[in-house]
Amino acid sequence: MNVQHILTLNAGSSSIKFALFEADADLIETMRGQIEGLGSAAPHLEAKLRGDTLADERLGSARAADHETALDVVLELLQRAIGRTAVDAVGHRIVHGGLEFARPAIIDEDVVRRLEALDPLAPLHQPHNLSGVRAAHRAFPAALQVACFDTAFHRAHPWVNDTYALPRAFYDQGVRRYGFHGLSYEYVISRLKEIAPQDEKGRVVVMHLGNGASMCAIRDGRSIGSSMGFTALDGLPMGTRCGQLDPGVVLYLLQQKRMTAEAVTDLLYNHSGLKGLSGLSQDIRELEAAATPEARKAIDYFVDRIRRELGAMAAILSGIDTIVFCGGIGEHAWRIRERVCQDFDWLGIALDGSRNRASESVISADDSRVCVRVINTDEEMMIARHTARLLAERGND
């Protein structure tokens, strides 16, 4: 069997993450990188080839003006990495799959049209995800293009965790809780199954904490509750997104403040969350280093909402056996983990301070009834696995 090459693309609003895998008997990562600051004056490229630095440089604005030009940079790296630009399949992270897509799907023109209709449900992500699809199709017209959905992992929620108290017709039309970060949760659960299968079968709360943040209640490896809902605005406060909000606030902004729908959308997605509360930054590292009361209060609010949601997850699961922190904040911000878990001894949570500060794989104390773990998530690997499976199925047809 010839080695096949799978490229994964995770296109955000101003960035594109990519990874290259060799698919033979197993998946082997050969290259990984990202371009940040697309469309800015100084986009930044980072890439590693088999663990060694392949690129770490500022790009001219013209070289990464949009996703299509950024993909040209990725092609150059592919040429350096594998000596050619032939790619057998491209796996894409697609944030919203709506009602129709409960599992990864091969992308064709009809699929793209159906996914475009979901743009209003994920305006910060979906259009850029699809921009990456179009750019990849132009670059690799013969490659299999695969959509991997952040909502798919949550599609088996119990009805009570999936609905809103609106007339049933809205639920039937698709107004329901979808949940997001599913690729991250799916990967974390797969890792938990490898390193602690007894924990994977229990009552697990995974906290994906980063610029986007959410929490998921998982039992027997299946999602049964998520902090996010109809859109990626709901739940925890995030870098620039508000999180849970009384819908009456939106009505007030529209009716009394005379804001347009577009202005409210921009406010809630781009100028709220940690950035809006602090008036300083969406980066938790900058906020922790700042001495301003606003920065401190922004962190206080972030931690408080996580703790509230943890209590809700415990209720959904009727207790917790394992907690997993992942994502940029979850994996690296030990002070946040410490504050989230403190005074939860009534739930059986006890951290080991030195383990937590060192971000060890298990950070709970030996006598903690709840095992608290840190697992580095890997959405790219999850995308590659799904893509490799569909590639193999096509080869067997």
pLDDT of 71-124, one tens digit each?
A: 888 888 887 777 766 899 999 999 999 999 999 999 999 999 999 999 988 888
Label the pairing between strands 322-326 and 203-209.
Answer: parallel
pLDDT band at 383 (very low <50, low <70, confident <90, very high): very high
pLDDT at 273 (0 to 100): 97
CA distance 106 to 111: 8
3-state secondary structure of 214: strand
Q: Give the separation between CA 377 and CA 261, rounded to whole angstroms.
A: 35
CB 135 within 8 A of CB 68: yes
User: If you ran DSSP here, which 8-state letter would residue 142 be given?
Assistant: T
| pLDDT one-digit tens code per residue, 6-39 | 999 998 777 889 999 999 878 999 999 999 888 7
Q: Which of 26, 52, 150, 234 is catalytic?
A: 150
Written as six digits, the tokens of 288 are 């922790």
**Residue 177 scores a pLDDT above 80:** yes
pLDDT at residue 368, rounded to an integer:
98
SS3 content of the chain, % helix, strand, coil (to 5): 45, 20, 35
Report how far residue 167's alpha carbon sits from residue 184's, in angstroms, rounded to the nearest whole number.
32
Q: Please give the single-letter amino acid code of residue 177.
A: R
Give the C-alpha separation, 191 to 218, whole Å.
Answer: 14
Q: Structure tokens of 110?
A: 């009809």
Say whether 266 is catalytic: no
What pLDDT sits at residue 397?
Answer: 64
SS3 per residue for 83-138: CCCCCCEEEEEECCCCCCCCCCEECCHHHHHHHHCCHHHCCCCHHHHHHHHHHHHH
pLDDT band at 3 (very low <50, low <70, confident <90, very high): confident
- Residue 1 has a pLDDT of 52
Query: What is the rounded distance in angstroms from the CA atom of residue 261 to the CA atom of residue 279?
Result: 23
The pLDDT of residue 396: 67
Two tokens, residue 121: 């449900």
DSSP H or E segment with residue 222:
strand 222-226
- Collapsing DSSP to helix, strand or coil, 272 comes out as coil
Rg, Å, the chain Cα set: 21
Q: Residue 138 — very low, low, confident or very high, per pLDDT cuts 50/70/90?
A: confident
CA distance 269 to 283: 15
74's tokens: 């990725």
Taking the C-alpha atoms of residue 153 and residue 9, their distance in angstroms, rounded to an integer, is 19
Model confidence at 41: pLDDT above 90: no
What are the structural domains of the chain? 4-149 (3.30.420.40), 197-374 (3.30.420.40)
Judging by DSSP bridges, how do beta strands 15-23 and 4-11 pair with one another?
antiparallel
- Nearest alpha carbon to residue 365 among 383, 386, 344: 344
How much is the pLDDT for 369?
98
pLDDT in the model for residue 84: 63
Compute CA 279 distance to the chain's CA centroid, rounded to the nearest angstrom: 24
Q: Return mean pLDDT, the chain.
A: 93
Segment 305-321 shows an average pLDDT of: 98
Whole-number Å distance between alpha carbons of 103 and 100: 9
Instruction: Give the strand pairing for 144-149 and 89-94.
Output: parallel
Structure tokens at 185: 């949760």
Largest CA distance in the chain: 66
The pLDDT of residue 318 is above 70: yes
